[in-house]
Amino acid sequence: MTLSNTSQAKRNSGNIVLVGMMGAGKTTAGKLLAKQLGKTFIDSDEEIQKRTGVKISHIFDVEGEEGFRQRESAVIQDLIKLDNIVLATGGGAVLKPENRAALQQNGLVVYLKSSVHDLWQRTRHDHSRPLLQTANPRAKLQELFEQRDPIYAEVADYVVHTGKQSVQILISKLTQYICPQDPITDTKETMQTLEVGLAERSYQIHIGQKLLSHAGLLLKHIPHKRVAIVSNTTVAPLYLEKLTTLFNQQGIIIHEIILPDGEQYKNADSLTKIYDALLSNRCERNTPLIALGGGVIGDLTGYAAATYLRGVPFIQIPTTLLAQVDSSVGGKTGINHPLGKNMIGAFYQPQVVIADVATLSTLSDKELKAGIAEVIKYGLIRDIAFLEWLEQNMEKLLQRDAEALQYAIVRSCENKAEVVGNDERESGDRALLNLGHTFGHAIENAMGYGVWLHGEAVAAGTIMAADLSRRLGWISEQDVERVKNIFVRAGLPIVAPKLGFDKYVQLMGLDKKVADGKIRFVLLKTVGQAVIADNVPTDLLRQTLESCSA
């Protein structure tokens, strides 16, 4: 687990790198941008001419394109080590992987994107461009664009469409993205970035205020101008427009898929609705699916992303506390089956998680509290210091103190990322994240999906787990009181519904942790340390189910 933030490191150097085709306006925009931001402007082509004392076209004549590219590489590797520059690169500078790596590591890379038509208008009378000195320069420009456009998009943190707008408008767009005095200043100041370390499936979790307005975080994951957003009838009216505005500005085509709201819709019908929309809009393998909503939308969308065309890119934008601290991280996706909760699904990791803490302002108190149940879970299973912090700061969380909420989200995600990083597919310790869930899922299923919120069921289920742990002699009566107390202070239920021993056992027998027909429980060895228990005596389980339900 690292608290690293590559974007922050890039910002620290203060460098802005402009990439794009010849004629995109990198030099003109770069000079103005540098002036506006108090940075030094450098043009890599000019630097090559300065060093060699001859024109670029002459280098092409004498040394060929490869000779020029070697000189260009050397210049780029030198320049990018400087601080606080705006660097306009030559159109082919990104062709060498080592150049791309150096630019990405040391600067915020902005792709100035123009249509081939506009590029042609701007370059047709310029005879200093060696690559266009052919019989059909228009066709050559088209060919170069097709070859380079995906490379620019891949290397860029931001894509800015230059279109027909004046340079001034372009500059104001650019500064809006990258200037430290822009309206998203508090975004940058508050944003914390964590990493889920899963080798080639690693990804970042960004947590902070107003991240939905932070174009760069999202756009770099949408290189192909098309995106499908899945949300529901409650969240879409609140937050969808923020995303659509952002995408419209970039000329990105959006397919909106709005589902009915509720746990009862986390099923095969909703999944089919998503597939129908993707297929009828001919969404392709490179069309990312964005989940905008709580855990229901996140789990459903993730499963659709895992299975549509055997897997398409997936982005999580969680908008409930529960989703921000738990369900959006770790790649568990799926739907409910009438016989059991989350029974159909796949492990499928997102490419990025963007948790905008500001979205929690519209969440109901009941949903906020349900999210706190999963927050408390991390303290109980593996982070006693966090539990102590929660005991001291519960009121702040309930009052939605922004700093306290963000701290709780970050600390929860740190815990979750560490567990998932060590055991992605739950062959070991990841199961500990299910404290209270074996009982909780049985409650949710028995009462009808959506009647008890997931977090509420987990709260009552955790009290059952604590009670059983005490009966096994692992924790004391006082410890159980401590566990009850924190849930009571969070306004969560601590008494489960009376379903009867047989019903509980029947429903818990459907739990995914069941092995060789035996129910396996996550229990507390001590407060702050959970374990898996395989052979719980039936009489103790019966006593717990009786005494903790009413």
Positions that interact with ligand NAD (CB under 6 A) = 232, 234-235, 238, 261, 263, 266, 293-297, 299, 319-320, 322-323, 326-327, 330, 332, 342, 359, 362-363, 367, 370, 454-455
Is 117 an active-site residue? no
Size of the site for ligand GLY (CB under 6 A): 6
Q: Which of 416, 471, 484, 520 is catalytic?
A: 416
C-alpha 394 chain-centroid distance = 27
Q: Which residue is nearest to ligand GLY (CB)?
A: 433
* Cα 271 from Cα 497, distance rounded (Å): 30
Greatest C-alpha distance within the chain: 90
Kindly tell me which of 420 and 475 has the beta carbon lying closer to ligand NAD.
420
Is 437 an active-site residue? yes
Q: Is 433 in the site for ligand GLY (CB under 6 A)?
A: yes
Kindly tell me which of 58 and 513 has the beta carbon lying closer to ligand GLY.
513
* Cα 387 from Cα 265, distance rounded (Å): 34
- Given the rule CB under 6 A, which of 137-145, 255-263, 325-333, 454-462 is the region that contacts ligand GLY? 325-333
Kindly tell me which of 20 and 298 has the beta carbon lying closer to ligand NAD.
298
Spell out the long-range contacts of 101-106 with Cβ–Cβ below 8 A and sequence spacing 24 or more.
102/76, 102/77, 103/17, 103/19, 103/76, 103/155, 104/155, 105/10, 106/10, 106/13, 106/15, 106/80, 106/81
Q: How far is the CB of 164 from ligand GLY (least distance, A)?
A: 48
Contact 44, 82 (CB under 8 A): no
Q: Is 326 in the site for ligand GLY (CB under 6 A)?
A: yes
Q: How far is the CB of 56 from ligand GLY (least distance, A)?
A: 55
Contact 420, 330 (CB under 8 A): yes
Lookup: tokens for 99:
């150049």
The only residue of 210, 369, 430, 520 in contact with ligand GLY, by rule CB under 6 A: 430
Q: Is 454 in the site for ligand GLY (CB under 6 A)?
A: no
Is 337 an active-site residue? no
Name the nearest CA neighbour of 332 among 210, 452, 423, 402.
423
- Residue 33's binding partner out of ligand NAD, ligand GLY, none, with CB under 5 to 8 Å set by partner kind: none
HSE-up (13 A, CA, CB side) for residue 123? 25
> Can you tell me whether residue 195 is helix, strand or coil?
strand
Kindly tell me which of 313 and 330 has the beta carbon lying closer to ligand GLY.
330
Q: How far is the CB of 536 from ligand GLY (least distance, A)?
A: 21
Q: Which residue is nearest to ligand NAD (CB)?
A: 295
Q: How far is the CB of 337 from ligand GLY (least distance, A)?
A: 18
- Interface with ligand GLY in residues 331-350 (CB under 6 A): 332
Is 416 an active-site residue? yes
Q: How far is the CB of 170 from ligand GLY (least distance, A)?
A: 44
Q: Is 330 in the site for ligand GLY (CB under 6 A)?
A: yes
Q: Which of 113, 341, 411, 437 is catalytic?
A: 437
Q: How far is the CB of 518 from ligand GLY (least distance, A)?
A: 20
Sign of the alpha-carbon dihedral angle for 236, 239, 241, 244: negative
Is 285 an active-site residue? no
Name the nearest CA neighbour of 333 among 366, 360, 307, 369.
307
Is 434 an active-site residue? yes
Sign of the alpha-carbon dihedral angle for 196, 197, 198, 200: positive
Site string for ligand GLY, 36-75 (x = CB under 6 A): ----------------------------------------
CA distance to 65, 71, 155, 237, 376, per residue, from 453 (Å):
64, 63, 42, 22, 16
Q: What angle do CA 361, 255, 164 make, to 5 degrees?
A: 95
* Cα 166 from Cα 64, distance rounded (Å): 35
Q: Which one-letter amino acid corresponds to residue 420?
A: V
Residue 249 exposed, middle or buried by CB count within 10 Å (0-12, 13-18, 19+): middle
Contact 225, 194 (CB under 8 A): no
- Residue 430's binding partner out of ligand GLY, ligand NAD, none, with CB under 5 to 8 Å set by partner kind: ligand GLY
- Residue 363's binding partner out of ligand NAD, ligand GLY, none, with CB under 5 to 8 Å set by partner kind: ligand NAD
Is 332 an active-site residue? yes
Contact 382, 234 (CB under 8 A): no
Q: Which of 148, 214, 266, 430 is catalytic?
A: 430
Q: What is the DSSP string of 280-338?
A: HTT--TT--EEEEESHHHHHHHHHHHHHGGG---EEEEE-SHHIIIIITSS-EEEEEET
Kindly tell me which of 204 and 359 has the beta carbon lying closer to ligand NAD.
359
Q: Which one-letter amino acid corresponds to residue 371?
A: G
Kindly tell me which of 239 and 521 has the beta carbon lying closer to ligand GLY.
521
| 46: CB partners within 8 A, 6+ apart | none
Q: Is 321 in the site for ligand GLY (CB under 6 A)?
A: no
- Residue 294's binding partner out of ligand NAD, ligand GLY, none, with CB under 5 to 8 Å set by partner kind: ligand NAD
Kindly tell me which of 362 and 422 has the beta carbon lying closer to ligand NAD.
362
The strand ranges marked E within 375-520 are none
Kindly tell me which of 226 and 332 has the beta carbon lying closer to ligand GLY.
332
Kindly tell me which of 109 and 321 has the beta carbon lying closer to ligand GLY.
321
Q: What is the DSSP string of 116-130?
A: HHHHHHHHTT-TT-G
Is 422 an active-site residue? no
Q: Which of 214, 441, 471, 512 is catalytic?
A: 441
Q: Which of 263, 367, 374, 444 is catalytic?
A: 374
Q: How far is the CB of 239 from ligand NAD (least distance, A)?
A: 7
Question: In the complex, which residues of this chain contact ligand GLY (CB under 6 A)?
Answer: 326, 330, 332, 430, 433-434
Active site residues: 310, 332, 374, 416, 426, 430, 434, 437, 441, 454
